[in-house]
Structure 1
Amino acid sequence: MRGRKEGQYMEAEKKRKPSSKNIHDGHRDRMRERFLKSGFEAFAPHEKIEYLLFACNPRGDTNPLAHELIRRFGSFSGVLDAPYEELLEVDGVGPVAAAFLKMLPQAFRCYEMDRESGRVRMYDYQDMARYLMKRYVGLSQEVVVLMLLDSSNRVIYCDIVSAGTAVTTNIYIQDIVALAARYRAVYAVLSHNHPSGSALPSPQDLHITSRVFDALKEIEVLLIDHIIIAGRDFTSLKESGIMAHLFSDERQPRVSLRAADSVREGKERTNTK
């Protein structure tokens, strides 16, 4: 008799109080529908992390972990930029989830590079800077990128040629010269990032620029700029006039750039008719 009463009591409690499992039923489906309807940007920062973690945790509730990651690292981008070792220190983050989160910025970078993989024409130095910025997405260390152009200012090569620490980068000038010769480049643009956040050139940056300029000159390739990237900020050594003795108007490909500008202006006039 006593066992029967206890069983009836437990059944009544189940009917009165829905289980925690039922509270989250359909949550992932609802989030997926929100994503398809409004896009990823409609999510709050913790919801973005929560949604991404679905890929690493197919059944569990990732909401508390997402809140903790945002609390610890401050923002959505802060979570993705956090070191792998620090991610592992967060309770609930294993090697698979940590590696997945670290992979995402690099996947974004590959996506942007692939979109720009065709022969893109550079019309001005701001175009060059915008194009180069995409090469640094998701990178926390200082790297050097070389852009090579043909006689029509079309990109024929753009990739990392040297990688170093977040403090300094060794630029292998012989590799730069070899690439310029291999691709039969006419113009070259040197670029590197400052992960510290300042786009101002250092004395070492100016020294390296002179060395690269002279080395490329030996194979009749003209270095037309050195662009320093810091996040969404950049400094063009040509446009800033910092190294006017190298990047003077007499040395620059004025005819080619003007020809490219005239092509763009002609397209704009045609589109406005």
Structure 2
Amino acid sequence: MAGSFKIMDLPENERPRERLFRYGAEVLSNSELLAIILRSGTAKENILSLSNKLLKLNGGLNGLLNLNVEQLLQIDGIGMAKAVQLVALGELTKRFGTYKSGDTYSISKPKDAAVLVMQEMKSLNKEVLKVILLNTKNVVIRIIDVSVGSLNSSIVHPREVFHSAILSHSASIIICHNHPSGDPTPSTEDINITHRLKECGKIIGIDLLDHIIIGDEIYVSLKEKGIL
């Protein structure tokens, strides 16, 4: 039975850890790298087989690393320890190269904002609205989630968008949301919400600098489009 096959049954130079040591991480497949992190399989399934299954069931690394603990626990072969490992790995990949890595992150152009949230938002299956809070030098203070679900004026209320900005003494904000379809073309509702928040920002004294819409590895800046 395939499930009874163990990694230790492989020749030493074919085991993922030994291959990484000998040849470097870049030659390993996603499933081999995942196997090294998760370390052990189950009584019925070796870790390489389990890693392959995880990637196939969830649409690859992006899908797998966007699952939460509860979703991961629904997968056969995943217990609490592995679920926590995968969530931690997912969070590290989101933080890599962003201000969360420990460095300050300054935004000087729309692409800077898009890059900051792209990795996390491009593969979400629901619309999520995030607000990037900035200080007077356009350095990111923090990023907050405001709403989940299709954006419309009834759920995107200015008080929720600006609440944390006021508490954090932000000088300005950038709002970002994703289109699960992968097409970042702004809708009429996207544009209306942007204008509404822009006017509220003027009254409050916190500028709305841009509205970034995230698609599949592409984005639209309403500022660049001349809409904002």
Gap change, CA 1:116 and 1:206, over 3 Å in 2: farther
- Residue 39 of structure 1 and its aligned partner are, at CA, apart by 4.2
Gap change, CA 1:206 and 1:106, over 3 Å in 2: same
**Residues 122 and 214 of structure 2 are in contact (CA less than 8 Å); yes or no, is this contact kept in structure 1?**
no
Counterpart check, 1:164 vs 2:124:
no
Q: Pairwise CA RMSD of aligned residues?
A: 3.7
Gap change, CA 1:191 and 1:82, over 3 Å in 2: closer
What is the one-letter code of the residue matched to 1:160? I
Q: TM-score, normalised by structure 2?
A: 0.74
- Indicate the residue corresponding to 2:105 in structure 1: 120
Q: Deviations over 1:84-123 (max 9, x none)?
A: 668846xx52434762475132342245556454432222
1:134-149 equivalences in 2 (<5 Å): 134-136=119-121, 139-149=124-134
Q: Distance in 2 between matches of 1:87 and 1:214?
A: 44
Gap change, CA 1:127 and 1:75, over 3 Å in 2: closer
Q: Deviations over 1:187-211 (max 9, x none)?
A: 2211112222111112221121111
**Residues 144 and 161 of structure 1 are in contact (CA less than 8 Å); yes or no, is this contact kept in structure 2?**
yes
SS at match of 1:218: helix
Please point out which of 196, 218, 221 is paired with 2:203.
218
Gap change, CA 1:58 and 1:78, over 3 Å in 2: same
Q: Deviations over 1:159-200 (max 9, x none)?
A: 1231313x4473242132232323333322111122221111
- Indicate the residue corresponding to 1:133 in structure 2: 118
Identity of paired residues, percent? 25
Structure 1 spans left out of the alignment, 5+ residues = 1-19, 248-273
Q: Deviations over 1:103-160 (max 9, x none)?
A: 13234224555645443222222222212324537754322221232332222x2312
Q: Larger % of helix: which?
A: 1
SS at match of 1:198: coil
What is the one-letter code of the residue matched to 2:136? S
- Indicate the residue corresponding to 2:77 in structure 1: 93
Higher relative CO (Cα under 8 Å, sequence separation at least 6) belongs to: 2
Q: Which has the larger radius of gyration?
A: 1
Counterpart check, 1:105 vs 2:79:
no
**Residues 180 and 188 of structure 1 are in contact (CA less than 8 Å); yes or no, is this contact kept in structure 2?**
yes
Q: TM-score, normalised by structure 1?
A: 0.64
Structure 2 spans left out of the alignment, 5+ residues = none
Please point out which of 206, 215, 218 is paired with 1:230.
215
